């Protein structure tokens, strides 16, 4: 029994030397001197506990931040904290002393926990206030300015044409802007030495590829890849190597193609009449002037009375009262055959309108350069 108590005191002594103040060490030494005097052990432990409490309480109330406060919790109240380590000595006290000292430890622990919670609340409140002050937003400041764009009149016209003809069964197809010479010319009955190739000043990519000069190659692609009957529209960019006040090297067309059995010029006229009434508004006269395209036979240029002056003559229609809106005709049987359709069984009509031209007529725009300037003051008007 003596031996056990002596060993306990030694352990306690080492521990105290490691962790506590001179005063504690002094007290502990005293208990050592008196060797197995349990009352002396008790008073040393009590003294140490009180010192720890005083020191912990002082540090906790002064903790400058939640983080440092939390470190104090580990330092004093954690499993390896000084109070917990000291508590282990409790078992080495005589059974008469144990309950009283145990109670003291519990009280100290409770008081420190209360002090901890109190400081924690204070720090939280002041840290929240600091964050609010730091992250303060001035809600009266103007927000970031986002410039909204506007649909380009070319896009608006394409959408509108697609919508109008969509109502009578047309749907959109697309083709590449770099086309084969064959799809842009040869299959459309424009042979290599044909003078009509010179009519369209072509951007050549190489011997066999061009920037498409019209949307008509999409006719070829449709006839070759889809089973008739068909009604398709092909809007998109086209390129021609000329540029002056009324021509841009890049502009837009929309191609229409209908393939069916027994198709006549009357069908073409009916379709275009319907379209002109829907697009420009009712009451305009329509005119089909004989013309020539290698891929249609017969061919016709489509005119309507000028929507601006209603046929009376103005600057837009150059006083003629008529406006030209595009080319059209019945699909040349040679083109049907080139694309693998039997001309005895299938016929069709096709038309091609210039989009910028339609926009110029509809909105009375007088300068084609406006289409490519991206000036929002212009674009927002449509
Ligand atoms: N592709 C012709 C052009 O660019 C227009 C057109 C299309 C004519 C379809 C007839 C039929 O001028």
Could you report the per-residue pLDDT of 316-358, keeping only the tens digit for each?
899 999 999 999 999 999 999 999 999 999 999 999 999 999 9
Q: What atom in ligand 1 is closest to the CA of residue 215?
A: 1
Q: What is the pLDDT of residue 198?
A: 60
Look at ligand 1, atom 5, and give the residue with the nearest C-alpha.
Answer: 352
Q: What is the pLDDT of residue 87?
A: 87
CA–CA gap between residue 286 and residue 273 (Å, rounded): 7
Q: What is the band of 192 on the pLDDT scale with cuts at 50, 70, 90?
A: confident
Look at ligand 1, atom 10, and give the residue with the nearest C-alpha.
Answer: 328
Confirm or reject: Cβ of 350 under 6 Å from ligand 1: yes
Confirm or reject: Cβ of 328 under 6 Å from ligand 1: yes
Q: What atom in ligand 1 is closest to the CA of residue 238?
A: 4
Residue 239's contacts (CB-CB under 8 Å, 6 or more residues apart) are: 177, 203, 211, 212, 213, 249, 250
Strand order in the sheet with 209-211: 178-180, 209-211, 204-206
Give the H/E segment covering residue 239: strand 230-239
Give Cα separations from 76 to 11, 69, 215, 306 (angstroms).
20, 11, 84, 95
Q: What is the pLDDT of residue 193?
A: 80
Q: What is the pLDDT of residue 32?
A: 43
354: left (phi over 0), alpha (psi -120 to 50) or beta: beta
| pLDDT(200) > 60 | no
Residue 25's contacts (CB-CB under 8 Å, 6 or more residues apart) are: 16, 17
Confirm or reject: Cβ of 307 under 6 Å from ligand 1: no
Nearest C-alpha neighbor of 304 from the set 330, 272, 329 = 272
Backbone φ and ψ for 309, nearest 5 degrees, come out as -100, 5
Look at ligand 1, atom 9, and give the residue with the nearest C-alpha.
Answer: 351
The position carrying tokens 């009262």 is 321
pTM, full prediction? 0.65
Read off the tokens for 225.
């890849």
Look at ligand 1, atom 2, and give the residue with the nearest C-alpha.
Answer: 352
Confirm or reject: Cβ of 42 under 6 Å from ligand 1: no
Q: What atom in ligand 1 is closest to the CA of residue 352?
A: 7
Give Cα separations from 370 to 248, 374, 375, 377 (angstroms).
11, 7, 8, 10
| Distance of CA 164 from the midpoint of ligand 1 (Å) | 20
Q: What is the pLDDT of residue 6?
A: 35
The more confidently predicted of residues 322 and 21 is: 322
Q: What is the pLDDT of residue 374?
A: 87
Backbone φ and ψ for 298, nearest 5 degrees, come out as -70, 165
Q: What is the band of 98 on the pLDDT scale with cuts at 50, 70, 90?
A: confident
Confirm or reject: Cβ of 311 under 6 Å from ligand 1: no
Nearest C-alpha neighbor of 243 from the set 327, 369, 364, 378 = 369
CA–CA gap between residue 378 and residue 101 (Å, rounded): 90
HSE-CB at 278 with a 13 A cutoff on CA atoms is: 16
Residue 17's contacts (CB-CB under 8 Å, 6 or more residues apart) are: 25, 28
Q: What is the pLDDT of residue 324?
A: 94
Nearest C-alpha neighbor of 331 from the set 350, 351, 353, 344 = 350
The distance between the two most distant Cα atoms of the chain, rounded to a whole number of Å, is 132
Look at ligand 1, atom 4, and give the residue with the nearest C-alpha.
Answer: 214
Instruction: Among 179, 184, 293, name the best residue to mutate to test ligand 1's pocket (greatest count of ligand atoms within 8 A of Cβ).
Output: 293
Q: What atom in ligand 1 is closest to the CA of residue 214?
A: 4
CA–CA gap between residue 68 and residue 71 (Å, rounded): 5
| Distance of CA 283 from the midpoint of ligand 1 (Å) | 25
Residue-wise DSSP of 307-353: TTTTTS--TTTTTSSEEEEEEEEEEPHHHHHHTT--TTT-EEEEEEE
Cβ atoms within 10 Å of 107's Cβ, excluding its own: 12
Highest mean pLDDT among 99-103, 147-151, 241-245: 99-103
Instruction: Judge: domain 153-379, CATH 3.10.129.10.
Output: no
CB contact at 8 A, 258 and 231: yes
HSE-CB at 186 with a 13 A cutoff on CA atoms is: 9
Average pLDDT over residues 83-100: 87
Give the H/E segment covering residue 57: helix 38-62
Read off the tokens for 339.
């694309």
Confirm or reject: Cβ of 352 under 6 Å from ligand 1: yes
Give the H/E segment covering residue 17: helix 2-19
| pLDDT(46) > 70 | yes
Confirm or reject: Cβ of 296 under 6 Å from ligand 1: yes
| Distance of CA 327 from the midpoint of ligand 1 (Å) | 5
Confirm or reject: Cβ of 349 under 6 Å from ligand 1: no
Q: What is the band of 164 on the pLDDT scale with cuts at 50, 70, 90?
A: very high
Look at ligand 1, atom 7, and give the residue with the nearest C-alpha.
Answer: 352
Confirm or reject: Cβ of 256 under 6 Å from ligand 1: no
| pLDDT(229) > 80 | yes
Mean pLDDT (the chain, rounded): 87
Domain ranges of the chain: 2-134, 153-379
| Distance of CA 303 from the midpoint of ligand 1 (Å) | 14
């Amino acid at each position: 029994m003596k031996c056990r108590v002596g060993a306990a005191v030694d352990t306690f002594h080492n521990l105290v030397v490691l962790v506590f103040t001179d005063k504690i060490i002094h007290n502990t030494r005293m208990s050592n001197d008196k060797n197995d005097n349990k009352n002396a052990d008790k008073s040393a432990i009590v003294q140490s506990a009180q010192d720890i409490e005083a020191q912990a309480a002082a540090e906790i109330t002064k903790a400058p931040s939640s983080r440092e406060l939390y470190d104090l919790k580990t330092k004093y109240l954690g499993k390896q904290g000084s109070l917990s380590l000291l508590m282990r000595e409790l078992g080495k006290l005589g059974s008469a002393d144990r309950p009283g000292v145990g109670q003291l430890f519990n009280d100290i622990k409770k008081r420190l926990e209360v002090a901890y919670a109190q400081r924690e609340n204070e720090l939280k409140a002041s840290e929240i206030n600091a964050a609010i002050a730091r992250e303060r937003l001035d809600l009266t400041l103007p927000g970031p300015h986002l410039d909204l764009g506007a649909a380009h009149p070319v896009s608006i016209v394409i959408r509108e044409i697609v919508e109008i003809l969509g109502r009578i069964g047309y749907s959109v197809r697309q083709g590449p802007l770099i086309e084969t010479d064959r799809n842009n010319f040869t299959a459309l009955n424009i042979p290599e030495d044909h003078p009509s190739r010179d009519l369209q000043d072509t951007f050549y990519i190489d011997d066999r590829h061009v920037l498409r000069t019209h949307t008509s190659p999409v006719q070829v692609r449709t006839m070759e890849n889809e089973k008739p009957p068909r009604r398709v529209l092909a809007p998109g960019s086209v390129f021609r190597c000329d540029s002056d006040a009324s021509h841009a090297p890049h502009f837009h067309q929309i191609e229409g193609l209908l393939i069916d059995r027994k198709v006549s010029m009357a069908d073409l006229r009916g379709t275009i009449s319907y379209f002109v009434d829907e697009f420009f508004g009712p009451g305009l006269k329509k005119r089909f002037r004989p013309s020539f395209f290698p891929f249609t036979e017969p061919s016709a240029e489509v005119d309507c009375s000028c929507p601006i002056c209603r046929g009376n003559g103005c600057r837009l229609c150059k006083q003629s009262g008529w406006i030209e809106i595009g080319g059209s005709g019945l699909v040349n049987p040679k083109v049907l055959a080139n694309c693998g359709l039997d001309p005895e069984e299938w016929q069709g009509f096709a038309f091609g309108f210039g989009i910028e031209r339609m926009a110029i007529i509809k909105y009375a725009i007088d300068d084609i350069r406006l289409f490519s300037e991206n000036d929002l003051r212009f674009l927002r008007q449509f």
